[in-house]
Structure 1
């Protein structure tokens, strides 16, 4: 399945290296990052599992969104991203 992860990190100057490492290696190594704070993963992990992993890497005042991508996708992205999504 494809899962979208997006976030707002609200602690300027904080080192979010552990978050980025978790995104790249603990969710799935098969991912794209089509927008600044948006990642898409091909993964077998549930949205709840992903959320639990990432919540441990962010602050209480940060925001996190984890959604399974299903049908009816549309937007304005490079062709390479749409090829990956399909």
Structure 2
């Protein structure tokens, strides 16, 4: 199982709900305002990027990272909260 971080920048329209709903289906944990983490198997950051692009507008930005080491301070949540 791999740990992934997703970061996004929703620009003009800022419709967050569809993205939030999809993150909930992944059982993601919010780490910072625009940074979430989740576990996944048998995929890649590129595949996840393509998946999540369906839930943002064309003028938005998104980044997916597979993470093996992390540290945080002052975060809302962390990967240890994943179920």
Q: Which residue does the alignment assign to 1:39?
A: 36
Q: Secondary structure at the match of 1:56?
A: helix
TM-score by length of 1: 0.74
When the two chains are superposed, the root-mean-square deviation of aligned CA atoms in Å is 2.2
Structure 1: how far apart are the matches of 2:23 and 2:74?
Answer: 21
Matched positions, count: 79
Question: TM-score, normalised on structure 2?
Answer: 0.76
Unmatched tracts of structure 2, length 5 or more:
none
Residues 76 and 48 of structure 1: CA distance in aligned 2, closer, same or farther (over 3 Å): same
Q: Which has the larger radius of gyration?
A: 1
Structure 1: gaps spanning 5 or more residues: none
- The answer on whether the counterparts of 2:7 and 2:35 sit within 8 Å (CA) in structure 1 is yes
2:66 matched residue in structure 1: 68
